């Protein structure tokens, strides 16, 4: 029980951080004219990026999750509904896709073309959107919310955000011609190569989901949590009972 209380507190902290950091990162595009790093946008134009959409989606789900964190901290026995467990996994997977696509595809691609450097992808608010937010979300899901399990068949819902965004992206870039191909998924207008990009992104999404699900199971079954019990016993409990505070 003590371990669950500690993990719920850490889940609350991480979810709150994600919400706050994403709000700041998105507001950045309404305050500055060009954005930062590799993402040039201003105002509502920023929402054409999957990076923004995935982080906002994740922040909204984290905000919902905060209610259950608070109820648990208040001592109430609340059960996370199945739909929220699945939604949290899907939302975390979307930012995991952002994290891995940037790190494994866009960073090498930008470096090879000489258009962007590694640091461009992690400049100012991009550091939150491409790394800090996704890493916090993955840590929270895998470790602090590991007991909120569900059947593996529901992990395949993670394809939905990628497919929906991919459809919109293809329409806006190829059909309507209202967006530039900022992700270079048409390889400079070679539309017949677009399926390669689709397979790569869907592969990353599937791989990220498999990794997240596996690591959660690993946390439940294999890892010794004595260190976290030590933190709770000697730090959290001490702060409550110490006469010096």
Mean pLDDT of all residues belonging to the chain: 86
- Strand partners for 40: 35
| Distance, CA of 114 to CA of 123 (rounded, Å) | 17
pLDDT at 193: 76
Q: Which of 101-110, 126-135, 137-146, 162-171 has the lowest mean pLDDT?
A: 101-110
pLDDT at 220: 77
- Whether residue 112 is predicted with pLDDT greater than 70 in this model: the reply is no
pTM of the model: 0.86
Residue 240, token pair as written in the block: 């409550």
> Residue 243: which pLDDT band, with cuts at 50, 70 and 90?
very low
Query: What three-state secondary structure class fits 103?
Result: helix
Closest by alpha carbon to 18, among 184, 129, 143?
129
Portion of the chain with pLDDT greater than 70, in percent: 84
DSSP secondary structure of 195-242: HHHHHHHHHHHHHHHHHHHHHHHHHHHT---HHHHHHIIIIIHHHHH-
Residue 47, token pair as written in the block: 């929402």
- Strand partners for 36: 39
Rg (CA), the chain: 20
Residue 10 CB neighbour total at 10 angstroms: 18
194-234 pLDDT, tens digit per residue, is 888 889 889 999 999 999 999 998 887 665 555 555 555 55
Residue 5, token pair as written in the block: 């209380």
Cβ neighbours of residue 219 under 8 Å, at least 6 residues apart?
Answer: 142, 143, 146
172-197 pLDDT, tens digit per residue, is 998 898 988 888 777 777 777 788 88
> Residue 40: which pLDDT band, with cuts at 50, 70 and 90?
confident
- Whether residue 27 is predicted with pLDDT greater than 70 in this model: the reply is yes
> Residue 37: which pLDDT band, with cuts at 50, 70 and 90?
low
Q: Which residue has the higher pLDDT, 222 or 57?
A: 57
125-155 pLDDT, tens digit per residue, is 889 999 999 999 999 999 999 888 899 999 9
pLDDT at 191: 77
pLDDT at 245: 38
Closest by alpha carbon to 227, among 143, 136, 119, 161?
143
Residue 75, token pair as written in the block: 């001592």
């Amino acid at each position: 029980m003590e371990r669950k209380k500690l993990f719920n507190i850490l889940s609350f902290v991480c979810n709150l951080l994600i919400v706050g950091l994403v709000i700041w990162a998105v507001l950045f595009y309404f305050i500055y004219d060009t954005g930062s790093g590799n993402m040039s946008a201003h105002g509502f134009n920023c929402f054409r990026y999957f990076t923004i959409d995935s982080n906002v989606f994740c922040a909204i789900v984290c905000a919902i999750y905060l209610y259950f964190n608070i109820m648990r901290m208040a001592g109430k026995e609340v059960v996370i509904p199945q739909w929220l467990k699945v939604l949290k996994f899907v939302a975390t997977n979307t930012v995991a896709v952002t994290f891995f696509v940037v790190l494994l595809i866009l960073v090498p691609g930008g470096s090879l073309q000489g258009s962007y450097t590694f640091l461009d992808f992690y400049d100012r608010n991009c550091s939150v959107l491409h790394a800090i937010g996704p890493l916090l979300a993955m840590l929270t899901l895998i470790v602090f919310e590991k007991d909120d399990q569900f059947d593996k068949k529901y992990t395949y819902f993670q394809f939905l955000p990628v497919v929906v965004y991919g459809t919109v992206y293809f329409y806006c870039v190829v059909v309507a011609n209202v967006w530039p191909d900022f992700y270079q998924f048409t390889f400079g207008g070679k539309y017949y190569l677009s399926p390669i990009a689709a397979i790569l992104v869907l592969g990353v999404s599937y791989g990220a989901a498999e990794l997240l699900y596996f690591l959660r199971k690993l946390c439940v079954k294999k890892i010794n949590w004595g260190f976290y019990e030590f933190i709770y016993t000697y730090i959290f409990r001490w702060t409550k009972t110490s006469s010096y505070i």
